[in-house]
Structure 1
Amino acid sequence: MLIADLGDVRLHYRDEGPRDAPAVVFANSLGTDLRLWDKILPYLPGGLRIIRYDKRGHGLSSCPPAPYSMGALIGDAERLMDHLGLRDAVFVGLSIGGMIAQGLAVKRPDLLRAMVLSNTAAKIGTREMWQERIDAVRGGGIEALADAIMERWFSRAFRETVELEAWRNMLIRQPAEGYIGCSAAIAGTDFLTSTSGLTLPTLAIAGSEDGSTPPDLVRETAALIPHSHFEIIRGAGHLPCVEKPREYARLLTAFLAEHGHV
């Protein structure tokens, strides 16, 4: 296990592939850990350096007291990439990971040559909505929200499979403090203005059955960035890399190839 000690937080990460290969950094969603990406890895081309990490308050990373700011989450990604000596990487962010990608692209354009905004937006929900969720977790733990989250995360067909139990368990076993902290970060984030100033190559991916960031919301964010490319994965919800890993990997591989990253 690899741990990056960044001072105020310690991040668990995986660093796989040749150290001198083109780097792809993956940032996962609220309530998941770096295993979110497991199913797409066998379908990605060889010769990549794949970095995945657990954001603060999730997985095996440390869990500082809530609330967190989006600036802190962006700073964590920035410091991890500096720690690993990464430059000119492609950053793939899903949901809150996609918000981190947008903020990092504004703050440190030297780190990113391109980004993938998956099932995310420049602004997700309202402060009031997120406060209701924070209050529910404070009162009854993540379990209080788990069934409703599964409905937003996955298509009806996937929710009828036995695999759903594993993802529900992943969710409820995240630290409540970390879930609350990251919820507060999302609540306080509006990147509509800053994202509209970005020009780096961008692929936006939506799931047709996504109940958290519906396709139109993802499309609107993609439209802020000139020459971005938007794709919908049919029959998938908020985590299309889980439901449709082969199709997700195909889109990602084509994007990497288009921009000379494979």
Structure 2
Amino acid sequence: MNAITDITKDIQAQIIDAFNFRHATKVFDADRKIDERTFATILEAARLSPTSFGHEPFKILMVQSQEKRELFREFSWGANGMMSGTTGQLGTASHFGIILASTGKTMTAGSDYLQDHYRDVKHLPEEVIEIFNGAYGKFQTSDHGITTDRQITDWSGKQAYIVLANMMTAGALLGIDSCPIEGFDMERTTQTLQDHFQIDGTAWKPAVMFAFGYRAKDPEFPKTRRSMDDTVSWF
């Protein structure tokens, strides 16, 4: 029992240390690259992440070519170094990407896409698929009221954030720095994805950008958060 307790305490300490280590890294060491196996682990954490109904309404687009990254520079103020006087995450990150969110084109209850997903990915029998269609249809129309394309896309974006959170936590546990990035023009990003990456803008919308790598320097200020009492209420 004591050995199990000691292992649990060690894991608990590792988790807290990882969250204290992680910060929104604005500038990375451009000369240090994440090795392929390590980043594959981060991507596997993304792939295995939970999503509502198990629909996996996201896709990860990795943008490793510097030429391709530069296509976003003008309208991605959260990643272009505007606030730090550098080339930003676009210019320094080892790995840079965008998580795309599914739209109503595929995530509307009863869609052909979802029927294929239930059969080919989840391997559900037909009677269970019928249950899923009914439950998800009720979820969309009456429980949460997400029926418009924008509402469904926003719901998909929520799932994308679960994915990114798991990626960043996995990275922190591995000593890898990261940054979630929302500072970009949605319309121009969508158009760029369509024009230069062959992404169907009616089926996918950018939810959030991200960058991974190794920090160029430690944060200047200590991590600050609300107290636990202000964060959590017990009843």
Q: Which has the higher strand share?
A: 1
TM-score (norm 1): 0.21
* Larger CA Rg, structure 1 vs 2: 2
TM-score (norm 2): 0.23
